[in-house]
Amino acid sequence: MSQFLPTAPYRGTRDFLPAEMSVRTQVFERLYEVIERYGYQRYDGPILEPVEIYEAKSSREIVEQQLYTLTDRGDRRLALRPEMTPSVARIIAGNAGRLQFPVRWYSHPNCHRYERPQRGRVREHWQVNVDVFGSDSAACEIEFFELIHDLMAAVGATPDMWVLRVNDRVLLDAMLTGVVGIAPDAVRDVAGLVDRWEKYPADKLAEDAAAIGLTDKQFDRLGEVLTGGRAVLDEIPAEVRERSKLVQVMDSAAGELVRFDPLIVRGFDYYTSTVFEVFDNHPDNRRSLFGGGRYDNLVGLYSAQRIPGFGFGMGDVTLFDFLGTHSLLSEPRAEIDAVVIATEAELADPARTVAKGLRGAGVRTSTPLDIRKLGKEIQRADRSGARVVVIVGGNDWAAGTVTVRDLRTGDQHQVTPADVPARVRDLLELGPGTA
């Protein structure tokens, strides 16, 4: 055994070094910007929650196989949040009296699920959650579908790269019971089968179907319904169809934003009608990018007030897989503009004063912490992405000036320390500034 502890992070979790963090931040900032453009406000909550909030209504798979649980020193059973929806429902219920509905909120929590790490699946992921509370109108759903299109455009995706697949659980129930002839008490199991339809081979699906009591005829009919697109809607009674917000959306101009797909179920108990998933169209990455839906009764676990919810969670792993597959990732951006270098230890104080002046003028500036050869220091500054070095030293300093060098062009000028901020801002094309 090695005498050292392992440096790798815990399986299924990731360290983010600054270069990667920079790429991630650029993407997230674009998402936040679009979400805020729609008037959504950011909130947050604790990573630890009472385990009951997931047991009460979530997904069987999450509760039985994926929760990270612990008992605290006071014998309370807690879980690391596997998702944000139960938390936000709790927060909304607890604060409903002082909120003005509809509430438009977003957050960016890290979530933990004990999964087998594989492409698109890890044990700690970051999930942008966007939700509306207090509206059950079709307009609310249209707003989300438009927002999703804007988010995808903001990260550089064109409409051919992805598809927004939608379904309605009420319609699905009607399809399963009315069209396929499944008994109402088997609907939940069959919905689980539908959820696995694209992931499992045909013989395994047939085996599972038989195990939950489907006849061969029902299984064949189910296959036709699930892969037949919108055709099945005509077989659903008009009064069921008319109640569906999703049908209203599809019949409006916004219908072009979505594709009806009976295969979309989503594995959570709390969704009550519309459900959706965004899929990558790329042949190398045909998988779900993110998903969500309408959950009209979740807040009801915490209070008597009926507050419907609608929203989605977009995970970082699947999003970055998508961006990587379509070559949409940007370069890390430089985190520093200027480096002020003292050529000898005695000049460290004036160099710090020059650096302070630059920072005061809004220029991101660093100073080396040790004195090294000037050439080496300039190279390091260049590699760190700085555009400008300011050299404090030698005869120039004795003559009351410092050297400002543009690292892109190699041009350099002697300027007085007082003029450094303006000159550097000029080189960085930052405008005159306020300093």
Contact set with ligand HAM (CB under 6 A): 83, 85, 113, 115, 121-122, 125, 127, 129, 131, 288, 290-292, 311-315, 317-318
Number of separate helices (H) and strands (E) present in the chain: 16, 17
**CB-wise, 156 or 178, nearer to ligand HAM?**
156
The label of the residue with tokens 């350099």 reads 412
**CB-wise, 57 or 149, nearer to ligand HAM?**
57
**CB-wise, 123 or 387, nearer to ligand HAM?**
123
- The C-alpha atoms of residue 293 and residue 166 are separated, in whole angstroms, by 9
- The C-alpha atoms of residue 305 and residue 102 are separated, in whole angstroms, by 14
CB of 85 to ligand HAM, least distance (A): 4
**CB-wise, 49 or 337, nearer to ligand HAM?**
49
CB of 202 to ligand HAM, least distance (A): 25
**CB-wise, 260 or 290, nearer to ligand HAM?**
290
The label of the residue with tokens 């009608």 reads 273
**CB-wise, 308 or 315, nearer to ligand HAM?**
315
**CB-wise, 119 or 204, nearer to ligand HAM?**
119
What are the tokens at 181? 């002839």
Beta carbons within 8 Å of 274's beta carbon, 6+ residues apart? 141, 166, 167, 168, 169, 244, 245, 246, 249, 293, 294, 310
**CB-wise, 289 or 342, nearer to ligand HAM?**
289
User: Could you tell me if 404 and 424 are in contact, meaning their C-beta atoms sit under 8 angstroms apart?
Assistant: yes
- The C-alpha atoms of residue 23 and residue 89 are separated, in whole angstroms, by 31
What are the tokens at 239? 């009064």
The bridge status of strand 338-342 relative to strand 365-366 is: parallel
CB of 411 to ligand HAM, least distance (A): 48
CB of 138 to ligand HAM, least distance (A): 17
Q: Give, as one character, the DSSP assignment of residue 118.
A: B
CB of 106 to ligand HAM, least distance (A): 10
What are the tokens at 168? 């309605």
CB of 422 to ligand HAM, least distance (A): 47
CB of 148 to ligand HAM, least distance (A): 12
**CB-wise, 116 or 373, nearer to ligand HAM?**
116
User: Could you tell me if 359 and 365 are in contact, meaning their C-beta atoms sit under 8 angstroms apart?
Assistant: yes
- For 78, 382, 422, the CA distances from 362, given in Å and listed in that order, are 45, 20, 11
**CB-wise, 4 or 10, nearer to ligand HAM?**
10
- Cα dihedral 288, 294, 299, 300 sign: negative
User: Could you tell me if 311 and 144 are in contact, meaning their C-beta atoms sit under 8 angstroms apart?
Assistant: yes
Residue type, 284: D
User: Could you tell me if 132 and 311 are in contact, meaning their C-beta atoms sit under 8 angstroms apart?
Assistant: yes
CB of 13 to ligand HAM, least distance (A): 11
Residue type, 72: D
CB of 94 to ligand HAM, least distance (A): 18
CB of 134 to ligand HAM, least distance (A): 14
> Which position's Cβ is nearest ligand HAM?
315
CB of 345 to ligand HAM, least distance (A): 50
- For 267, 309, 311, 407, the CA distances from 272, given in Å and listed in that order, are 12, 10, 12, 59
What are the tokens at 136? 């059950």
**CB-wise, 329 or 348, nearer to ligand HAM?**
329
- The C-alpha atoms of residue 85 and residue 401 are separated, in whole angstroms, by 60
Burial class (CB in 10 A: 0-12, 13-18, 19+), 121: middle
